[in-house]
Structure 1
Amino acid sequence: MQPYQGRAARGAAPSPAGFGCPKDDPSRHVRPVPLPPVQQNLNYYPQIFWVDGCADAGPSCPPAAPSAPFPPPVPDRRTKPRNDRERRSVGFLVMFLLILVAFTGVGLSIFKIFHLEKEVDELRESASAEHIPPASQKLTGQKEQLVQKEARKAAHLTGNPAQQDLPLEWEPISGHAYTSGIQYHNRGLLISEPGLYFVYSKVLFRGSACDSQLLSHVVYKRNPASPGSLVLMEDKAFNFCTGQKMWARNSYLGAVFKLRKMDSLHVNVSKIALVNFEESKTFFGLFKL
């Protein structure tokens, strides 16, 4: 094999397809040079081909040129360790965020507590001002209720023994007797306000001899706008005694009536001498519903 003399030594123009072989040499061909295995994660490098001018070794083929050196493998950048300064900055950022979140939660809790305390104070003030009246207001309300109850239109009359003719005369102010909003006038009760009234009357008849006479107990009303009188309630009794020397009989009347203004109510009996005028045994009254 002859030594390689280069382009100037041989005096021929370089071949565009290879290095060191004549242009008209039919035995030249391109042979790929194998590369070392490259890791999959490295950048791809194209294959490098070396032009061999001769297929068979002979005296006319120059020696092959030395192979070009290959670059060293590129290190994996993904596994590059971080420096300590970057780690410290990340840790400080995480700690700052955690502290910020903690302080935010504490601030919201304190605000909520203050808000609830304010609402409780407002409820206490409203309850003390509206729903819980002082003792003086309670007493005043109780007095007003009592006055209203006393002001209800009502009357209770008791028997009066100092009378001589009919209708019966009554006691309006002494003992258990009273009048409230009802006037006692001309031996009767005068209505000043129309409405529903409960009217009642009780008479005790008592005698020393049983003669079986008629006993009558009547409650009636009069009105200047209407002539005459109108019977409201009546009780009559026959044969109330059977030969006894001393006898007694109660007669009670009571009912609800719609009365007009200026109505006057009276009580009549069959015989005044047989009436017991004790205030607990003979009485007359009414009250407005």
Structure 2
Amino acid sequence: MQQNLNYMYPQIFWEEGCTNPSTSCPPAPPAAPFPPPVPDRRKKPRNNREEKSVGFLVVSLLMLLSLAGVGLSLFQIFRLEKELAQLREVNTEHISPALEKLIGEKSESMKKEERKAAHLTGNPKQQDLPLEWEPVSGHAFTAGIQYRNQGLVINETGLYFVYSNVLFRGSTCTSQVLTHVVYKKNPASPGNQVLMQDKKINYCANQKMWARKSYLGALFKLREMDSLHVNVSRTTLVSFEESKTFFGVFKL
């Protein structure tokens, strides 16, 4: 029985090219176009919220870096101060006892020098001469110089500047001379020694109220136990206000 071979084996057609150049070949079908590229859906566009989050993160990191720098600077300053204090302690430990004693004596001497001064103001409760003074109230003070028996007592020999100011005033005019004197005395020497003196004449006219100031001031070498005093011609003509009548001394 003859079988149909065409049924059992499929026919194969070759259409890509022609084997026989003498025969005309049908034109090749046009090539199919390439499909367009598929977009990458993994990359999503950023929105405004993400951009703000990133900006905030950057600013926060910058602030943290700044704070860290400030903290490091403070730590360095603290360490340097500690090292400086240690160096000072080492230098103090190496000061010789003789030098330390000299420094202490010099400081004590300077303190004593600063205390040698006195400023007295007028005392309205005047009774007799020499003039009495206020040693503690208002602008008055004594430091290293004692006020005793209406005068200033020197307790250390040296150079001193002595000054005195007296304001005279009255309601009627007289021909009496106004006298202002600063003198000193010492228990080892008899009598009084005038240091400064001022006299006022022709100080008023036409029977009217008048006022005249007398100021004395100079440098003197004074001895221990010298006492300084002030005399005037008439205590009733003296204005005892503290800014107008005063007396003082200080050591140079």
TM-score by length of 1: 0.50
CA distance in 1, matches of 2:212, 2:203: 8
Structure 2 partner of 1:285: 248
Unaligned 5+ segments in structure 1 are 1-120, 134-143
Give the secondary structure class of the aligned counterpart of 1:175. Answer: coil
Cα offset, 1:176, TM superposition: 0.7
**Matching of residue 203 in structure 1 with residue 161 in structure 2:** no
Deviation per residue, 1:81-135 (Å, 9 max, x gap): xxxxxxxxxxxxxxxxxxxxxxxxxxxxxxxxxxxxxxxx99x94686239x9xx
Aligned ranges for residues 137-286 of structure 1 at < 5 Å?
148=111, 151-286=114-249
Contact 1:150 1:180 in 2 (8 A): no
Q: Deviation digits for residues 65-96 of structure 1, max 9, x if unmatched?
A: xxxxxxxxxxxxxxxxxxxxxxxxxxxxxxxx
d(CA) in 1 for partners of 2:234 and 2:134?
A: 19
Question: 1:190, 1:239 → 2: CA distance?
Answer: 35
Flag the structure with more relative contact order, 1 or 2, with Cα contacts below 8 A and sequence separation at least 6.
Answer: 2
Aligned partner of residue 148 in structure 1, secondary structure? helix
Q: For residue 170 of structure 2, what is the amino acid of its counterpart?
A: G
Q: Give the match's secondary structure for 1:235.
A: strand
| Partner Cα separation in structure 1 for residue 204 and residue 156 of structure 2 | 43
Which runs of structure 2 are paired with 1:49-128 in the superposition (5 Å)?
125=83
4+ aligned runs moved over 2 Å, structure 1: 124-131, 147-152
Q: CA deviation at 1:152?
A: 2.2
Partner Cα separation in structure 2 for residue 237 and residue 174 of structure 1: 30
Quick one: distance in 2 between partners of 1:194 and 1:127?
43
SS of equivalent residue, structure 2 residue 248: strand
Question: What is the percent sequence identity of the aligned residues?
Answer: 71
Paired with 2:192 and 2:251, the residues of 1 have a C-alpha distance of 21
Deviations 1:221-264 (A, max 9, x none): 00011000000000001111122410000000000100000000
For the pair shown, which has the larger CA radius of gyration, 1 or 2? 1
Say whether the 8 Å CA contact 2:113–2:251 is kept in structure 1. no
TM-score (norm 2): 0.57
CA contact (8 A) 2:112 2:144 kept: no
Aligned length: 156
